[in-house]
């Protein structure tokens, strides 16, 4: 019998490039047919064939309180009946800005936008506008959205400017972007020693989630902060993924580092399109209408989306929320690691808060190069074995996973039991 997923995928490819509206959804990395989701609730999603999956994608992070949480749904319904979009200020936008500034002390003022790409793109423009410099530094394997100047891979050697990673991005657009190795302190020091007075900003995922989960070391991040201060560059923490995921105050609180600008997204929308960028008030005054750095958006601060985000932000502040979330995530990673060990499969895992990484390698990677050296073929086989048993992990070896507050002991234990079967099939 033909799967409804197959039928939908064939139909989608006639009118949408690759049949999807974001590339990773196409399953090109792992092979096979993507699952078309019809509904979600708690820790589960259901596909077009009616099959239920324990979901470890969580809409790539936002579903931290679980899918379709009654409190979030009620907030959205209440907001929707008052109107879907106004293109004018609302009190709800003020409430969200106040909440973000309260929870992330490095942010004194914040601007709401609709996507993580908008947040990081605008943060870069602000950094360049505030410093009067052009050069930016990013790190191999960190993804900051699809703005032209950030779709860059490393050049042919250290301290050479990057090359575009996407067709349609002129080389001129990335001529001011330096791409360095993640967690390489010496290279960072050398770069600032040579061109520090030309650098507008350094942008980094303090906990990387787009080359799988890779932790930034304390030495790496603190060196970055010291050098930016010393040379007058701005430090941008891209916490679109890690913000409110690894802890209530973000990765910056885990490392006790104060970035100049922070980009947020995902969790602050609770599943709806909300993102933000913010920082010190003296920097944010450069934004229009106060300053000369322009940014605008018709749907920025959309009332329905903000309602979902505010309901989520209140739920994650309930006592013990992050302690429980971290415990459950570790239950998953420890259980998977033990299951692999029992099967004799080379495998390890790591977790920070409600984010986790799975690696078919001897130890968690610390850089893009180390992540690329992992066994991708084994991951693909593991992915499909788990999918067949009703457990949905990210359909690529280079993406972090996510646990929600609705992933109970029983739910996670069911995943670990399925993993024992999947790992046994890999040997």
**Residues 138, 182, 260, 266: which is the catalytic one?**
266
The two beta strands, 348-352 and 261-264, are unpaired
Which is catalytic among the residues 143, 182, 368, 392? 143
Q: Which two tokens stand for residue 222?
A: 């603190």
Q: What is the DSSP string of 82-99?
A: T-S--SS--HHHHHHHHH
DSSP state of 143: -
| Cα 73 from Cα 56, distance rounded (Å) | 21
Tokens of 224: 């970055």
Query: Which one of the listed residues 238, 322, 359, 392 is annotated catalytic?
Result: 238
Catalytic site residue 56? no
- What Rg, from alpha-carbon coordinates, does the chain have? 21
The token duo for 303 is: 């009332």
Residues 197, 201, 205, 211, CA torsion sign? negative
Is 238 noted as a catalytic residue in this protein?
A: yes
Alpha-carbon gap, residue 380 to 53, rounded angstroms = 17
| Residues paired with residue 179 on neighbouring β-strands, in sequence order | 138
Q: Where are the alpha helices (H) located in 133-280, listed in sequence order?
A: 185-195, 218-231, 251-255
Active site residue 49: no
Q: Which residues are catalytic?
A: 143, 238, 266
């Amino acid at each position: 019998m033909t799967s409804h997923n197959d039928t939908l995928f064939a139909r989608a490819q006639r009118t949408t490039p690759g049949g999807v509206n974001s590339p990773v959804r196409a399953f090109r990395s792992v092979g096979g047919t993507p699952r078309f989701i019809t509904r979600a609730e708690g820790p589960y999603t259901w596909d077009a064939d009616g099959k239920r999956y324990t979901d470890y994608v969580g809409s790539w992070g936002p579903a931290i309180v679980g899918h379709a949480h009654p409190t979030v749904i009620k907030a959205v319904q209440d907001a929707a009946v008052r109107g879907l979009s106004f293109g004018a200020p609302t009190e709800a936008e003020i409430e969200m800005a106040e909440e973000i500034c309260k929870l992330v002390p490095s942010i004194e003022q914040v601007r709401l936008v609709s996507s993580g790409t908008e947040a990081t793109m605008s943060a870069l423009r602000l950094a360049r506008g505030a410093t009067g410099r052009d050069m930016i530094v990013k790190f191999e394997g960190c993804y900051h959205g699809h703005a032209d100047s950030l779709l860059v891979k490393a050049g042919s050697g250290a301290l050479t400017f990057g090359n575009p990673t996407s067709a349609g991005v002129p080389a001129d657009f990335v001529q001011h972007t330096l791409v360095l190795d993640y967690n390489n302190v010496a290279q960072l020091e050398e770069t600032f020693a040579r061109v520090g007075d030309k650098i507008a900003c350094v942008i980094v995922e303090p906990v990387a989630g787009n080359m799988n989960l890779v932790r930034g070391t304390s030495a790496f991040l603190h060196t970055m902060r010291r050098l930016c201060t010393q040379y007058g560059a701005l430090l941008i923490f891209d916490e679109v993924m890690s913000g409110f995921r690894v802890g209530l105050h973000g990765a910056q609180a885990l490392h006790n580092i104060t970035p100049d600008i922070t980009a947020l997204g995902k969790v602050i929308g609770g599943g709806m399109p909300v993102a933000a960028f913010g920082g010190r008030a003296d920097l944010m005054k450069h934004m229009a209408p106060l300053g000369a750095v322009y940014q605008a958006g018709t749907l920025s601060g959309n009332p329905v989306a903000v309602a979902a985000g505010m309901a989520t932000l209140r739920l994650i502040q309930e006592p013990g929320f992050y302690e429980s979330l971290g415990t459950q995530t570790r239950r998953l990673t420890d259980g998977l690691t033990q299951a692999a060990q029992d099967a004799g499969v080379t495998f390890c895992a790591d977790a920070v808060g409600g984010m986790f990484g799975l690696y078919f390698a001897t130890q968690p990677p610390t850089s893009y190069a180390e992540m690329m050296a992992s066994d991708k073929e084994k991951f693909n086989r593991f992915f499909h074995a788990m999918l067949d048993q009703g457990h949905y992990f990210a359909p690529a070896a280079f993406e972090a996973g996510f646990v929600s507050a609705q992933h109970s002991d029983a739910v996670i234990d069911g995943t670990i039991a399925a993993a024992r079967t999947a790992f046994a099939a890999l040997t």
